[in-house]
Amino acid sequence: MASIHQSFGFGTPPANRSLQGFPGSPGYQSSQSFYSQTPPGVAPYQHSLISPTDAQSSSTISHLPLARDSIDVAGRTIDKCILSDSSSAKLIDQLKITKEGCPTHSGLSPSDYPQAAQSCRMLLKQCGTMKRVPLPQELVEQFAHVETISSMGLLPQIGRAWLTIDSNIYLWNYRDGSDLAFYDGLSEAILSAGIAKPKPNVFQPQIEYLLVLATTVEIVLLGVTFSGDEIHVIPDPLFALPTDGAFILTIEASDSGRIFLGAKDGCLYEVTYTSDSGWFSRRCKKINHSRSAISFLLPSFINAAFYEDEPIVQIVIDESRRLLYTRSDKGTLVLFDLGENGSSVSRVAYMTLQNIADAAHNIVSTIDKTCFRPLAGISLIESSESPELNLVAFSTSGVRMYFTCLPFNAIIGAPLTSPVQRYSGLTLTHIRLPPGFSVSSTSQKPSNVRASYYCKGTSILSSPHADDTDSIWVASSDMFPFSQTLTEGFSVEQLDGRVCDIVLDGVRNSIVGGLKMEPPAVVVQHSRPPANFVILTSQGCHIFPKLRPVEVLRQILVESGGADSEIVRTFFTILKEEQGAAVALILACSQHAQDPQISDWATKAFLLYGGEIKTTPTNVVPTFPHSSLSGSDSPLTGSGRPSFGTPLHGPPLGFSTLGTPVQSFQPPLISTPQPGQTIDNLAPISPIESFFSGKHNGIYIYLGRIIRPIWIRELISEKKIGNSLLVESSVSVDEIGFIISKLTDLQSFIERNSLITSASLPDNFNISRRNITDVPAQRRHYMDVKQAEKQSLQALDHLVKHSAEVLGLWRVICDHQLHLLKDNLPGDILSQMKMMSFRDLILGGQEVCSSLINSLINRYLADSASTDSISSRLRDVCPSLYRSDDAICSKVNELLLNARNESSRANKEQLLKEALELCKQIPTRVQLSNVCQHLSALQCFSGIVDLCLAVADKRDPQKRGLYYYQSNEPADDKAGRDSYLARIDAYRQITTYLGLLMYGIPASPQGPPTTSQTVADAQSQVENMLKLVLRSDDELCHVAVYSWLIERGLIDKLLQIRSPFLEKYLLREKDCHPEVPLKMDLLWKFYENQRNFAAASKVLAQLADTHNAQLSLNQRIEYLSRAIVCAKSGSMNVGPMSAQGDLLHELEEKMDVARLQAQILESVMQLPSHIPQVRDAISRLNSEFFNVTTLYEDFAEPFGLSECQLAIMQCAGHQDPPLIMSIWSQIFDKEIAKVGNAESSTKMAVLGAALKRLARQYASSEQYFPLEHVIKTLELYAVKFQYQEPLWLPNTLLSAGIPLLRIYKAYVKVHSARDNVWKAEGAPHHLVTVIDRITKIFAENPNSLPAPERRSMYGTLLVELPVLLSHLYGFADPQAKLLAVSLKQTQEQLLRSSLH
């Protein structure tokens, strides 16, 4: 964004101000002033010291064009996401209803109601935690005196439930059971009650609602007021009129205040009232809309002959279409049209229950006709859900019947003028059977439905559960938002009473961006609370939230205790990866204090199940749809319309079936990018198809849903006040604030999880090799795709930050009243704003933003107010749109001019100090050479060093130049090279003025003349500058000065320098320039001057430890060997001996570990080289030395190098018996795996050889040679392989040098453990058999052992043999008896031998 310093009293910026400062742009100026445009009244200085045109030194400015392009690319992707969310299948399409007039049915297919496995039932659960609010205790006490209970119901408009007891009505807050109120001013029993909004200008303003009560003789309208949350019913009726014998059964009111009554005589009545009565009219009257006026003149018995009473039990009003429906107790549906403006009533059509049942049976002839009657209830279908379908009726069997009031051949969306054209009748268009009707369904069917409710795709049915309780069936398609067919999940909940009424409570209006059709719940769930349903039973109220995907995910995360569960993975499978990722982001981005754990779990779920990039040969998945992420046309503004959709790859785990593939935003097909290509111009030139990951698409989808409400909404609106037009924002400040908060949360999420912008291969990277012969090429392609995804996510990150800043600026503008600022705006800017949407402002409104900021600042200046506060706020809200550099530029200019004219040395130094401090705040915009010239003219050479160091650091804040230098200047590191050259350019000013002082070379031919000074003064300045350089920690500045000294032949001065960087510099010069004798000799001369052999050994040790892929491990060991020799030489010639001894000891220990590392490297190199991890390990092992912990954790353990693990543990002296035993088991398992299906003798021979080899190495250390574990493991192998040589293991151990006594004791200890594994293997006496054979070996030749060992052996055997015999006597099997006999004989033989 352009600099806006002109707003500080210097006038408005030019029209192309947003491009100013970029060479080649229309606003670029190469002036010789401090500014790109000299402010009026400021004389231009002879040299440009500071200028915004120095774009190359400004990271913010130089990266702006790239960021601008990436924001545009991300913006076009957001267009597609929003379009995809808006392109979900309409209800009429999901039901497969066409204009040709062919009714359809559904519910018989298993995919209509997916069945969940027991472990995944939560995924289809529709109801949240049920809150039970019992009836107020006062009402329960009244039941003892009840004579007549007419009815009870809910009034969601005021959040109250009502109950009539005789002639009294009670109202209470159904959310918590509080605020019980009653009215007892009637004498007759109350039949029904309703609530209505008062008509305007009729009652006093404090009357907020009308309570309409109907008794057997009169209809009463009572005023309702509220004091906070407390309801008050005015006792005196506002109006009362007789019923004229009509028993009112139901009352319903429209939003405009019209009150309709349904009566037992089958008539629809309306109560009308006015503020004044006339000559021929009453203030309040009752109108019958069902019968003609002449019927009132006929006797009642004649009316009865012409009209059959069908009591109206339900009235439903469609506010959006101005329609009214009635349902009689016999199931007849009647349609009334309320007129264009909702002020009239005309009966349009009716349909009897018999007609409905016949029509339904014709649609689904395989279902018994009784399933379609009688009717349990009707509900309207709002126009925002379906413009074509109007009404849904429920039968007592739970069947849903969808009706339309339009003819099938009506042109959907065409303007409809008259009621006849608009609503020609009631037509049954679709039958939806409830769960349980499909052949494969295992669920029960709802029956005897008592009550029903439908709202925005959610159906609720109540049916009897027990004698006095009901169950509710809740079905919704929220978990299948983009399905092409109506796929619903359902769940059943038990209640504690009979259902009396069902309503929707707590629905708040939310921003939907002016779109006509309501998007699926998954699209807006981040900005809306869940809908709460209230069910009134005879025992109280039950309130539960309708679970949407985000609540389902939250609940399964809580119940699973984290993201590592099958049900969470299944959730992502059902919604698809990108939709699941978008839902997870709602929770992951949450900043609520009570949600940190949920946020962490959701983040982990996002990362685990959000999917990876898919790379597939083109002929493997030929049906994959693809749509580019960024085409030339925006789907919202251009002509192109993307195609979204993905086939399901099999049903999700845990579900028996799924329906039609869902429609959703899908990853783009991209190909390997070529040099010069960006995300926006990738073309499919490779035979490999690639699709961005679900995580990538999910973040874009979520961002699109955040800014969807305002994305295409106009920026400003005009409101006429009197004769003038007031310009204001079309979106409220609160709405903007909500979106900013969501953007900020998303930005924090991206920053917390930086790994989503990484471009590394995943651990489970696996490419299909089918029809692909060039696997390395495919791997490179994958990395290219990964890089493209990284760029796309970076573009999204830029868009998130930029959107938050632009909207933050807009909120600041709105806070300062836009209509007051518009007068300061240029006319063309205001004209642009009138035609702009928020999308235009975010993606291309740089000029408008700059003008708005200027107008705001100028408003403060015009009022003579301080701009500090607004400047601070703007810098906090939109730092990239508003900067403080311009004010600093003016101050630097002023200070340098004042210093030039200041005669006092102290004052001059203070001015220069202030100027330098300000320059350090904006070093990227400093014209360094010009500033240094003026500092030189003022004899401020120390300031030159200070400024150059600061500028170099700001030009390369990430120290890429140092890394580039330390990495030996790699040719492919262009960014590092540019940073390195930028630093060197800054240091060149220091060496230039060092040369000027030492040799009298002018800084530049055009530079100002320096003050004449003596050689001593110049030498003092040089020494001072060198001290400042050497005191700094800027290594590259040291390098620049060292190189300058060598070029000037000042070798002696170089070698006199005491700096930690000098030795590194000399080492690097030697390594980088081995062909130059001078460079090769400098290091050794340095050490000759120092006479420091210990330093030489340290240097060699550092060389061995240098992280360099060019050095092999053998070379490093050689360096280490030479370091040891030097250390020994140093200990002979230089004291103290202790220090050199420590160094020598350290090097020798490092050599021991290095040999261990060489052993690991040798083992790793024997592994298959095509495995990426193997190649990476070989590279790492060659690149540097590691400690034993790293060798174990990063190499020996991951690659399963069991013998190396054991060697490391012995080397480190680490004692962990369980781990050591596990390693020994792994060693033997791998030996067995090597021979595969070989014979038992071969396997045992392999095990014996391995044991002998390792026993010789570790037998002397019992900690690392767990003999008992080895015996148990190998003897189990002998049993498993049915190896019939009992002494093979003892003989092997003896041949490895292990004493017989130790072997015998180990066997006895293993046997004494009484492990059931021997019995399980079918050899309960195997160990006793081996022990018997070992005993016989000794008994037959006791003199084979030395005398001390022989005596110990005698003692041990005489003690252990009775124990073994006692153990065998407890068995009755023949083998035990034979072993007992054998051991007894051996015992007797040993007793005889011991006597001799």
| More confident site: 926 or 349 | 349
Half-sphere exposure (Cβ direction) of 737: Cα atoms closer than 13 Å: 7
Contact 713, 838 (CB under 8 A): yes
Residue 253 bridge partners (DSSP): 259
- Whole-number pLDDT of residue 65: 45
Range with top average pLDDT, 620-634, 1038-1052, 1108-1122: 1038-1052
Select the highest-mean-pLDDT range: 218-227, 301-310, 421-430: 218-227
**Residue 535 is inside which H or E element, if any?**
strand 532-537
Q: Residue 867 pLDDT more than 80? A: no
- Tokens 């800014």, located at residue: 707
**How big is the CA angle at 680 (ends 679 and 683), to the nearest 5 degrees?**
85
Give percent helix, percent strand, percent coil of the chain, each to the nearest 5: 50, 15, 40
Rounded average pLDDT over 692-699: 92
SS3 for 695-731, per residue?
Answer: HHHHHHHHHHHHHHHHHCCECEEEEEECCEEEEEECC
Determine the distance from the C-alpha atom of residue 868 to the mean position of all C-alpha atoms in its chain, rounded to a whole number.
38
Buried b / exposed e across 47-86, counting CB within 10 Å, b at 16+?
bbbbbbbbbebbeebbebeebbebbbbbbbbbbbbbbbbb
Identify which of 266, 248, 269 has the alpha carbon closest to the alpha carbon of residue 331: 266
Residue carrying the six token digits 């796309």? 792
- What residue has token string 């003016």? 890
- pLDDT, residue 1072, reads 78
The answer to whether 342 and 320 have CB atoms below 8 angstroms apart is no
Report, in angstroms and rounded to the nearest whole number, the Rg of the chain calculated over CA atoms: 44
CB atoms within 10 A of CB 786: 22
Percent of the chain with pLDDT over 70: 78
d(CA 961, CA 366): 79
Taking every pair of Cα atoms in the chain, the longest distance, rounded to a whole number of angstroms, is 145
What is the pLDDT, as a whole number, of residue 669?
A: 40
pLDDT, tens digit, 9 for 90 and up, residues 1085-1094? 676 467 667 7
Q: Is the pLDDT of residue 874 over 80?
A: yes
Burial grade of 1279 (CB within 10 A; 0-12, 13-18, 19 or more)? middle
CA dist., res. 515 & res. 527, Å (int): 16
* N-terminal to C-terminal alpha carbon distance within the chain: 107
Phi/psi for 485 (5° steps) reads -120, 165
CA dist., res. 1142 & res. 936, Å (int): 52
Range of 196-200, 772-776, 1298-1302 with top mean pLDDT: 196-200
Helix (H, G, I), strand (E, B) or coil at 614: strand
CB atoms within 10 A of CB 1300: 18
One-character DSSP codes across 1066-1091: HHHHHHH-TT-HHHHHHHHHHHHHHT
Sign of the dihedral defined by the CA atoms of residues 1271, 1272, 1277, 1278, in that order: positive
Q: Are 668 and 628 in contact (CB under 8 A)?
A: yes
Q: Is the pLDDT of residue 389 over 80?
A: yes
Long-range CB pairs of 321-329 (<8 Å, 24+ gap) are 321/383, 321/390, 321/405, 321/423, 323/380, 323/390, 323/405, 323/423, 324/260, 324/268, 325/378, 325/380, 325/391, 326/262, 326/268, 327/375, 327/377, 327/378, 327/393, 328/266
Band the pLDDT of 774: cuts 50, 70, 90.
low
Residue 507 pLDDT:
47
1130 and 1140 in contact (C-beta within 8 Å)?
yes
Q: How far apart are CA 1354 and CA 1356, in angstroms?
A: 6
> Mean per-residue pLDDT for 707-726?
86
Answer for the pair 1152, 1121: CB distance below 8 angstroms, yes or no: no
The torsion of the CA quartet 1019, 1020, 1021, 1025, rounded to 10 degrees, works out to 100
Nearest 5°: the CA angle 1119, 1124, 1130 is: 125
Instruction: Tell me the pLDDT tens digit for each residue of 84-122.
Output: 998 888 999 999 987 666 899 999 998 899 887 777 888
pLDDT surpassing 70 at residue 637: no
Higher pLDDT pick, 1334 / 238 = 238
Q: Quick one: pLDDT band at residue 911, thresholds 50, 70, 90?
A: confident
pLDDT at residue 973 is higher than 50: yes
Cα separation, 680 vs 70, in Å, equals 9
Residues 420-437 pLDDT 10s? 456 888 999 999 999 988
pLDDT in tens, 1307-1342: 888 888 888 888 888 888 888 888 888 888 887 777
CA pair distance 939, 1021, nearest whole angstrom: 9
Q: Residue 401, SS3? A: strand
What's the pLDDT at 166? 86
> Please, which pLDDT band fits residue 1001 given cuts at 50, 70 and 90?
low
Q: How confident is the model at residue 618 (pLDDT cuts 50, 70, 90)?
A: low
Q: Say yes or no to pLDDT of 625 above 70.
A: no
Taking the C-alpha atoms of residue 954 and residue 490, their distance in angstroms, rounded to an integer, is: 61
* Token pair of 359 as six digits: 């029509």
Query: Contact, 979 vs 960, CB < 8 A?
Result: yes
DSSP string of 1182-1244? HH----HHHIIIIIITTTT-HHHHHHHHHHHT---HHHHHHHHHHHHHHHHHHHTT--HHHHH
Instruction: Look at the block and give the residue holding tokens 């349904």.
Output: 262
The dihedrals phi and psi of 298, each to the nearest 5 degrees, come to -95, 150
- Measured in whole angstroms, how far is the alpha carbon of residue 392 from the centre of its chain? 38
* pLDDT reading at 289 higher than 70: yes
CA atoms of 651 and 1208, how far apart (whole Å)? 48
Cα(615)–Cα(627) distance, rounded to whole angstroms?
A: 15
Q: What pLDDT, on the 0 to 100 scale, is given for residue 1396? A: 58
pLDDT tens sequence across 1347-1385 = 787 788 877 887 888 888 888 788 878 888 888 888 888
| Cα gap 1361→1356, rounded to integer Å | 8
For 503-526, the DSSP string reads EEE-------TT-SSPPPHHHHTT
Give per-residue pLDDT as tens, 12-29. Answer: 333 333 323 322 333 333
Contact between residue 1016 and residue 1002 where contact means Cβ atoms under 8 Å apart: no
DSSP-derived letter for residue 1167 is: S
Q: Hey, what are 1304's tokens?
A: 């015998």
Residues β-bridged to residue 716: 729
- Mean pLDDT over the full length of the chain: 79
How would you class 918 by CB atoms within 10 Å of its CB: exposed for 0-12, middle for 13-18, buried for 19 or more? Answer: buried
Run of H or E including 454: strand 451-455
Which residue is listed with tokens 């040589």?
1285
Mean local confidence (pLDDT), 942-947: 88
Q: 3-state secondary structure string, 82-97?
A: HHHHHCCCCHHHHCCC
pLDDT tens track for 578-616: 999 999 999 999 877 567 899 999 999 999 999 888 877
Q: What is the share, in percent, of the chain residues with pLDDT greater than 90? A: 32
User: For the whole prediction, is pTM greater than 0.75?
Assistant: no
Q: How far apart are CA 479 and CA 487, in angstroms?
A: 9
Report d(CA 881, CA 546) in Å as an integer: 43
pLDDT score, position 936: 84
Higher pLDDT, 62 or 73: 73
Question: What phi, psi does 768 have (nearest 5°)?
Answer: -65, 130
User: What pLDDT, on a 0 to 100 scale, did the predictor assign at position 36?
Assistant: 31
Q: Lowest mean pLDDT: which of 321-330, 1027-1036, 1244-1253?
A: 1244-1253
Per-residue model confidence (pLDDT) at position 144? 64
